[in-house]
Amino acid sequence: MLLLSVFTLQFIEAKTVNLKGKVITIDVGHGGRDSGTWYGKVYEKDINLEISKVLKKTLENAGAVVYMTRDKDDDLSSKWDARKKRGDLYRRILFIQEKKSDLYLSIHINWFNNTWHRGPEVLYHSINPNNKVLGENLMEQFKKDFQTKRTLTTTDLYLYRNTRVPGVLIECGFLSNADERRLLQDKSYQQKLATSIKKGVMNYFLEIG
């Protein structure tokens, strides 16, 4: 009986803290002059930051060391950058590399002209073969937790095609869908997203070993 409970405890511990020692950078989309997509006074950059803060706590509770590319309403460009947006993205890549991240997660919110589109989705670039594995694990978890019909797709955007550290772009949902717009600003829904992402990340590390 005692042996059984010791075994059970170790099993539970392994299951709950298995991001121990992993370094994860959350790339908080947009910021400052760049609001991302918006609806009225609801800006993507603000929701990205809110979700990222919840995600940071959630990953830290699972044992990970977590960095965020920004923790306030600012972008990363320097006053010397002739092209502000490119400078911002370039510095995000440097940040991810300098932190010696095991992986990065870019947090964004989607927009589509057809308002019925909804659900979280994941995009990746094949610069690192692990990106697809990470994307599959995250998307699989999203399908379980949100019954979404969205699928894993590829992206050729600058940041993703130039970052060698494994990572993906997560579009957490659609600001263009009224119901999802409300949910994305809701604390408990943000936590649901964060928990789902944490599970996907754990499964990724289990898969790559």
Question: Please, what is the angle between helix 187-208 and helix 44-61, to 10°?
Answer: 50
* CA distance readout (Å), 195 to 112, 118, 191: 25, 19, 6
Closest by CA to 94, choosing from 76, 113, 117, is 76
Q: Smaller CB distance to Zn ion: residue 62 or 109?
A: 109
CB of 9: closest distance to Zn ion in angstroms? 42
E strand intervals along the chain: 23-28, 38-39, 42-43, 65-68, 103-110, 121-124, 153-154, 167-174
Which residue lies nearer to Zn ion by CB, 31 or 200? 31
Shortest distance, position 43 Cβ to Zn ion, whole Å? 10
Residue type, 171: E
Q: Helix, strand, coil: what percent of the chain each, to 5? A: 45, 20, 35
The sign of the CA dihedral 129, 126, 197, 70 is positive
Binding residues for Zn ion, how many (CB under 5 A)? 3
| 45 near Zn ion (CB under 5 A) | no
Binding part of the chain for Zn ion, among 22-30, 81-89, 143-151, 185-193 by CB under 5 A, reads 22-30
C-alpha dist (Å) from residue 66 to 22, 107, 137, 142: 8, 14, 20, 21
- Establish if 29 lies at the interface with Zn ion (CB under 5 A): yes
Closer residue to Zn ion (CB): 29 or 135: 29
Task: Name the minimum Å distance from CB 157 to Zn ion.
Answer: 10
Taking the complex as a whole, the smallest distance from the CB of residue 98 to Zn ion amounts, in Å, to: 23
Which CB, 29 or 119, lies closer to Zn ion?
Answer: 29
Stretch that binds Zn ion, among 34-42, 76-84, 90-98, 185-193 (CB under 5 A): 34-42
Strand partners, 108: 171
> Hey, which residues between 105 and 164 contact Zn ion (CB under 5 A)?
108
Q: Which of 34, 36, 53, 148 binds Zn ion (CB under 5 A)?
A: 36
| Stretch of 76-84, 92-100, 103-111, 180-188 contacting Zn ion, by CB under 5 A | 103-111
Residue 175 or 202 with smaller CB distance to Zn ion: 175
Query: Within its chain, how far is the Cα of 135 from the centroid?
Result: 11
Pick 36 or 87: Cβ nearer Zn ion: 36
Rule CB under 5 A: which residues touch Zn ion?
A: 29, 36, 108
